Amino acid sequence: MVTFNEAVKAGKVTLEEAEQLFDSLPAVKPEELRGLWKGESFATGSPLDGGLEKSGWYGKEFIDNDKVHPLVFKSNSNGRFNVNPVKILHLQNDVYLPDVQSDVETDQPTARIRVVEYRGVPTASMVYNERPIIDSFRKVDENTVLGSMENPELPVPYFFVLRRET
């Protein structure tokens, strides 16, 4: 089985390798996710691989179990802003969201954290408030988690890495 570091160094793994790695990692408790996290794709051949980064994605912010900003983006003024997932449904895939910040920004959290059984293990999972999407997490280390996004509109899960901002 490929290790997390080997997978990151390789730049891409198969879906099966990502699932095996995810399954080998320990569950995450909701309180372990508190704070701001920088995100990056964990390439497996998903249609979303690299797409969030191209659109200006920064990561996620977990305030508490009921207040999560699932889509934090870089602004054109070197800051960050939170995106309402419902407001980007109509946009083309190649839109750089900082260019349309005023149209998609929200100050309201649009997700929450719950413990959900995913792939046979109860673990911290981010549930979108207005979209049928659940991101489940497994711990790589104290400051790194591997996420798996289930979206019924996608043929396969989208894997991503979050690294805690300190």
pLDDT at residue 66 above 90? Answer: yes
Q: How many domains does the chain have?
A: 1
The CATH number of whichever domain residue 23 belongs to comes to 2.40.128.580
pLDDT at 90: 73
For residue 128, the Cα-to-chain-centroid distance in whole angstroms is 11
Q: Give the pLDDT mean for 98-110.
A: 96
Residue 85 Cα distances to 19, 106, 136, angstroms: 26, 9, 17
Query: pLDDT digit string (tens) for 71-94?
Result: 999 999 999 999 999 998 777 677
Question: What average pLDDT does the structure give for the chain?
Answer: 95
| DSSP symbols for 25-48 | SPB--GGGG-EEEEEEE--SS-TT
Query: CA 61, CA 2: separation in Å to the nearest integer?
Result: 29
What is the bridge-based pairing of β-strands 111-118 and 80-82?
Answer: unpaired
Q: Which domain holds residue 122?
A: 4-164
Of all residues in the chain, the percent with pLDDT exceeding 70 is 99
Q: Give the pLDDT mean for 21-48.
A: 97
pLDDT band at 166 (very low <50, low <70, confident <90, very high): confident
pLDDT at 89: 78
3-state secondary structure (DSSP) of residue 8: helix
Query: pLDDT digit string (tens) for 125-147?
Result: 999 999 999 999 999 999 999 99
Query: CA 7, CA 15: separation in Å to the nearest integer?
Result: 11
3-state secondary structure (DSSP) of residue 111: strand
pLDDT at residue 160 above 90? Answer: yes
Q: Which two tokens stand for residue 164?
A: 């805690």
